């Protein structure tokens, strides 16, 4: 397998692909969910990406994608809430221009579960073109890294 380094750490490419799939592969018909949804994985994929992030299987990290909703409130089991806000969000503004988590700049396209388990506010500012935020930043952790 050859990896094109021009697409590594490019959250804007994730935004394009995710928004395309959400719009074109899911429908409100009997065959509206692509693939087998017996365990709810395809439905979960849709919901998480519509909110703007997705859990990386087997790790405590979430990868940021492209939120569809302007505001989502998630009620956590500890009674706290996580509010996700996407400012200037619409069908053309699919690219994250900047992000904050609990008022602090989030300069990477991922975060850990511990960052949201006590609730808080995850806020995105959206725009029509890829931004510096979506093209640069710290790569997510890998299970192949030495600990």
Q: Report the distance separating Cα 57 and Cα 124, nearest Å.
A: 23
Taking residues 122-144, what's their average pLDDT? Answer: 85
Cβ contact 137:106 at 8 Å: no
pTM of the model: 0.84
Q: Bigger pLDDT: 1 or 10? A: 10
Q: How confident is the model at residue 143 (pLDDT cuts 50, 70, 90)?
A: low
Residue 1's pLDDT is what? 39
Question: Within a domain: residue 5?
Answer: no
Question: Within a domain: residue 3?
Answer: no
CA 131, 144, 108: angle at the middle one, nearest 5? 20
CATH number of the domain enclosing 41: 3.30.2080.10
Cβ contact 107:137 at 8 Å: yes
Give tens-digit pLDDT for 54-98: 998 889 999 999 999 999 999 999 999 999 999 999 999 999 999
Looking at every residue in the chain, the average pLDDT score rounds to: 87
Residue 146's pLDDT is what? 59
Question: Within a domain: residue 43?
Answer: yes
Question: Within a domain: residue 143?
Answer: no
Number of compact structural domains in the chain: 1
Domain enclosing residue 118, as ranges: 11-135
Q: How confident is the model at residue 102 (pLDDT cuts 50, 70, 90)?
A: very high
Residue 127's pLDDT is what? 97
């Amino acid at each position: 397998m050859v990896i094109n380094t021009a697409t590594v750490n490019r959250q804007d490419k994730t935004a394009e692909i995710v928004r395309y799939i959400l719009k074109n592969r899911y429908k409100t018909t009997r065959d509206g969910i692509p693939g087998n949804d017996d365990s709810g994985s395809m439905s979960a994929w849709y919901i998480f990406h519509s909110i703007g992030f997705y859990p990386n299987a087997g790790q405590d990290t979430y990868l940021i994608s492209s939120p569809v909703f302007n505001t989502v409130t998630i009620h956590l089991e500890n009674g706290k809430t996580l509010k996700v806000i996407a400012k200037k969000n619409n069908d053309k503004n699919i690219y994250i221009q900047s992000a904050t988590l609990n008022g602090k700049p989030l300069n990477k396209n991922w975060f850990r579960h511990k960052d949201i388990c006590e609730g808080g506010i995850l806020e995105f500012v959206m725009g029509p073109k890829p931004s510096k935020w979506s093209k640069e930043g710290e790569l997510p952790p890998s299970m192949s890294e030495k600990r």
